[in-house]
Amino acid sequence: MRIEGSEQVEEAVSLAQQAEWQDITPIEQEEGEGSMCPIAYTDEYRELMGYLRAVMAVGEVSERALALTARVIEENPGHYTVWVYRKRLVEELESDIAEELDWVCDISCKFPKNYQLWHHRESLVTRLWAPSNALLVSEDQRVTNPVLRRELQFLDAAIDEDSKNFHAWSYRQWLVSTYALWTQELAFVDTMINQDVRNNSAWNQRYFAILANRNPSVVRLEADVAKSEIEYVVEHIKLAPNNDSPWSYVTGLLLRHAPSMLYTDLLPRIKQLAADNAYQAAMTLTPFYWSALLDIYEQQSADHPDLKKQLIDESSAICDQLASETDIIHCRYWNFRKTSLDTC
Amino acid sequence: MLPSEAVSQDASRMTVAQLCLVGLATLGQLNDILSETQRAQMVDWIYEQQIPRAGAYAGFRGGSLFGPHSSCSYAPANSANLAATYSALCSLLLLGDDLSRVDKQAILGAMRQLQLESGTFVPHPGTNEHDPRFIYCACAISSILNDWSGVDKDAATRYIVKCSNYDGGMTQARFQESHGGHLYCCVASLSLMKRLDALPDRQRTLKWALFRQGGGYHGRTNKVPDVCYSFWIGAAVEILGGHDLVDTGAVAYFIRQCEADIGGLAKWPGYRPDPLHASLGLVGYSFCCPEKFPRMSPELLLPESVLEAHRARQTQ
């Protein structure tokens, strides 16, 4: 590698040749005959690890140890104890947290699927601005505060890089819940859904934003919110009827939080869409429309036993159609579903 | 030997080892390819990764990268990990070991300290990382050791139930996106704890799993199929009793498309193979064509025959 500045000279020189490390004897790894899945370590990694083991073995707290943990993590971020050690070092050395967060950004670019870096980030952010203090100001003030603004920007970049990065969406939920950033979240979700109507992570986040941390097992959705969600979903179904996400979102949302609205409100809207010349062909061909009808009829039948026979007949015909034409790959499931209609 | 690029797996060698052994076992080749001496040496290497003291760090560590046990006086530097302990126990059983050198009480003692009040588990002390993967590891370890004193089953069940999502899927924590890997960990954990009836809507969960099939299985709605979900989703479907509802021909076809020229299975057709995808793809394949393979336990990633022999030893 080309050596330009003094920092790169230091990186190119092995630790054994550095004055700073003369007092340390590296600890070698032991293997034995039956060594399983050995890795062909580079000389650089082998040396870094020898010195890391030496400082970790005694729990040394120092800047050189901190720098060493960074180098190891940059090679092997799955080293699970080095993150614990680094967290302690950052705390005891009172390192600049903003700089540490910048360093974590670099790691996430290189290793977007690593788990540990996100949890390290959580502990840094809560140290930087305790949630109990943050919640004393308004949401607008929280969103514009440099700490949270940085996190939201970091998440924007991560999700821009991979719009379905599970860790990024999960961290985003942590941030939004911990710092109560609900209003901006619904707007963000809308932007993401409009960018890609098939992004299920975004639709899932919509459920998260609508419920805003309320306990799902006790929430009854307000009628106006449910109606507005139904309209939102129908508008997005129009963009791509054969798209699982909005269908499973709206049926799941209503089933849990406003079950009767499945048949009082959702049913007429989707039937209207299916009758509309512009959408009729697409709606008929998508299994999600027919599957939604089955879920709706099942709920309606449970609430109105007088309609049960008629609804079972219709559902039975839908199962046959799905099994034989519209969703053949799942035909065994649809045949099974047909046999269990009567027991609902 | 794995190439230097695999260094990010250095702390997970125990799991990579387990996956390689599982792959060989699924092919019925384990005892043919590995001599008795080799197997004994591997067993010794695994036991060398057992932390030789009790306390929160007890169990098996992920690899030898932490150095000799005697060299370390700062406990957090040399720690077991629930995933590595699970992988170690499975690997030992696959290699024909009777687990007599396993410090069972130390493992269960550590496990108790790793369960949070919410019911979920952290993998080792000093981290706030927690999710169903580690509940699964704890349940699998407890099942193999036939001792549930390390797990508060009520709390774990409560946590898992909160992981059920609006679409019937299961996820990492309440409100997160339904995910095939977490579906497996949740369903398998409940099954091992004999609490499968705690699922809020088992039929809906089974449906969610079945509908991850569009050819091969994908792990999340509107994502592309990946061969490892042949196990995560395939095994969950087996546990939920949905085997007859799967188009096994289509799944098997997808898995065969993922076979690489150099051998092994890749996550997608045309991609490069790796031990995780090769092994999980094979086990997933065995669920599709059970008559051609040794029967594999969907809950424990072990052949049923190995599990039966182990249980027989335990009752003696």
Q: What is the mean pLDDT of residues B23-29?
A: 93
Distance CA A285, CA A193 (A): 23
Interatomic CA distance for residues B165 and A207, integer angstroms: 10
Whether residue A34 and residue B6 make contact (CB cut-off 8 A), yes or no, is no
For Cα atoms A245, A246, A249, give the angle at the middle one, nearest 5 degrees.
85
Residue of B68, B246, B247 with shortest CB distance to A30: B68
Span A23-47, average pLDDT: 94
Chain B residues touching residue A334 (CB < 8 angstroms): none
What is the pLDDT confidence band of residue B190, given thresholds at 50, 70 and 90?
A: very high
CA distances from A198 to A163, A263, A295, B222, B239 (A): 11, 25, 21, 6, 30
**Residues of A in Cβ contact (< 8 Å) with B168:** 252
What's the pLDDT band for A344 if we cut at 50, 70, 90? low
ipTM, two decimals, is 0.95
pLDDT of residue B115: 98
Residues 6 or more apart whose CB falls under 8 angstroms from that of A6 comprise none
What pLDDT, in 10s, does the model give residues B128-142?
999 999 999 999 999
Instruction: Tell me if A36 and B210 make a contact (CB, 8 A cut-off).
Output: no
For all residues of chain B together, what is the average pLDDT? 96
Mean pLDDT of chain A: 94
Please say whether the beta carbons of B215 and B250 come within 8 A.
yes
The mean pLDDT value for B295-302 works out to 96
Tell which phi-psi region holds residue B201, choosing left (phi > 0), alpha (psi between -120 and 50) or beta: beta
Cβ atoms B68, A56 nearer than 8 A: no
For the ranges B28-32, B150-154, B222-226, the lowest mean pLDDT is seen at B28-32
Which residues of A are identified as catalytic? 113
Q: With an 8 Å Cβ cutoff, is A146 touching chain B?
A: no
Residue pair B273/B263 in contact by the 8 Å Cβ criterion: yes
Chain A, 243 to 262: residues with Cβ < 8 Å from chain B are 243-245, 248-249, 252-253, 255-256
Overall pTM > 0.80: yes
Neighboring chain A residues of B42 at a CB cutoff of 8 Å: 34, 36
- B230 touches B213 (CB < 8 A): no
Give the count of beta carbons closer than 10 Å to the beta carbon of residue A127.
13
For every residue of A307-318, which 3-state class applies, written as one string? Answer: HHHHHHHHHHHH
- Which pLDDT tens digit goes with each residue over A54-95? 999 999 999 999 999 999 999 999 999 999 999 999 999 999
> Has residue A10 got a pLDDT over 80?
no
A146 within 8 A of A159, measured Cβ to Cβ: no
H helices, E strands: number in chain A:
20, 0
CA dist list (Å): B259 to A235, B253, B272, B287: 42, 10, 9, 17
Backbone phi and psi for residue A313, each to the nearest 5 degrees, phi listed first? -60, -45
Residue B93, judged by CB atoms within 10 A of its CB (0-12, 13-18, 19+), counts as buried
Asked if A336 is an interface residue toward chain B (Cβ–Cβ < 8 A), one would say yes
Give me the phi and psi of A327, to 5 degrees please.
Answer: -145, 60
pLDDT per residue as tens digits for the range A144-176: 999 999 999 999 999 999 999 999 999 999 999
Per-residue pLDDT reduced to its tens digit, A278-304: 999 999 999 999 999 999 999 999 999
Query: Mind listing the pLDDT tens digit for each residue in B65-110?
Result: 999 999 998 999 999 999 999 999 999 999 999 999 999 999 999 9
Q: What is the C-alpha separation between B306 and B79, in angstroms, rounded?
A: 28
Which pLDDT value is given to residue A11?
A: 53
pLDDT reported for residue A3: 39
pLDDT of residue B144: 98
Q: How confident is the model at residue B238 (pLDDT cuts 50, 70, 90)?
A: very high
| Cβ separation B215–A329 shorter than 8 A | yes
Q: So what's the pLDDT on residue A1?
A: 40
The pLDDT of residue A13: 80
**Cβ–Cβ gap B166/A255 under 8 Å:** yes
Grade residue A33 by pLDDT with cuts at 50, 70 and 90: confident
Nearest residue to A119 via CA among A191, A68, A170: A170
Instruction: pLDDT band for A32, please (50, 70, 90 cuts).
Output: confident
CA angle A14, A16, A20 (to 5 degrees): 100
d(C-alpha B62, C-alpha B18), whole Å: 11
**pLDDT of the residue at B54:** 85
Count the alpha carbons within 13 Å of A52 in the hemisphere toward its beta carbon: 28
pLDDT digit string (tens) for A99-120?
999 999 999 989 988 999 999 9
- Nearest CB to A330 within list B9, B74, B210: B210
Neighbouring residues of A255: CB distance < 8 A, sequence distance ≥ 6:
A262, A295, A299, B166
Residue type, B299: E
Letter for the amino acid at B125?
Answer: P
- C-alpha pair distances (Å), B158 with each of A188, A211, A341, B195: 31, 20, 30, 10
Show which of residues 251-310 on chain A sit within 8 Å of chain B, judged by CB atoms.
252-253, 255-256
CB atoms within 10 A of CB B260: 16
* pLDDT attached to residue A5: 44
d(CA B7, CA A79): 10
List Cβ neighbours of A83 (8 Å cut-off, separation of 6 or more): A73, A116, A117, A119, A120, B127
